Amino acid sequence: MRGGAIPVLAWACLLAVLMTGNAVWTGDAIQIGEYGFAVLTIVLVAAALVRADRTAIRRGAPEAPSRPRVEASPDLSFAAVLAAIALASILFGLTWAYFLVYFGAGLLIMSLGRLALELQAARASRERFERGSPPERPERERLP
């Protein structure tokens, strides 16, 4: 989207200047390392935005698309919730009770499988909409 990467890059430049001051003044490896990480992360974010859309680096307001962009938007995602709980369960298990690590790993695999089905259903819905077909029954009814 037009202009989205400009403030990100501008901010990365400001950070780079301050990081250079830090490197010259302190010469501390840890400080340069963590500051360098932050600058690199922000530059990578800007690069990703430009890669996704070249106009992200051009000034001006976003224009209305000539053809409306259709987007499949989920109302619910149990897969996302389960994946988060799985991750928490693994870390909690490391601290508290090891069986939770296995439980979390199993839950993570299940949730990723469910996520794949959700994404597949979303793509199918979008394609149907673009073809002009009537919407099919909701994904929840089709999933096992």
Contact 15, 39 (CB under 8 A): yes
Q: Closest approach of Cβ 106 to another protein, in Å?
A: 17
Q: Does 105 bind another protein (CB under 8 A)?
A: no
Check residue 14 for interaction with another protein (CB under 8 A): yes
Using CB atoms within 10 Å of the CB of residue 89, give its burial: 0 to 12 exposed, 13 to 18 middle, 19+ buried. buried
Interface with another protein includes 144 (CB under 8 A)?
no
The answer to whether residue 106 forms part of the interface with another protein (CB under 8 A) is no
Q: Which of 84, 109, 112, 116 binds another protein (CB under 8 A)?
A: 84
Judged by phi (left if over 0) then psi (alpha if -120 to 50, else beta), residue 65 lies in beta
Decide: is 77 part of the binding site for another protein (CB under 8 A): yes
- Contacts (Cβ under 8 Å, ≥6 apart) of 123: 72
CA distance 110 to 100: 15
Tell me the closest approach of the beta carbon of residue 27 to another protein, in angstroms. 8
Q: Pick the binder of another protein from 66, 69, 131, 134 (CB under 8 A).
A: 69
Q: Does 1 bind another protein (CB under 8 A)?
A: yes
Answer yes or no whether residue 53 interacts with another protein by CB under 8 A. Answer: yes
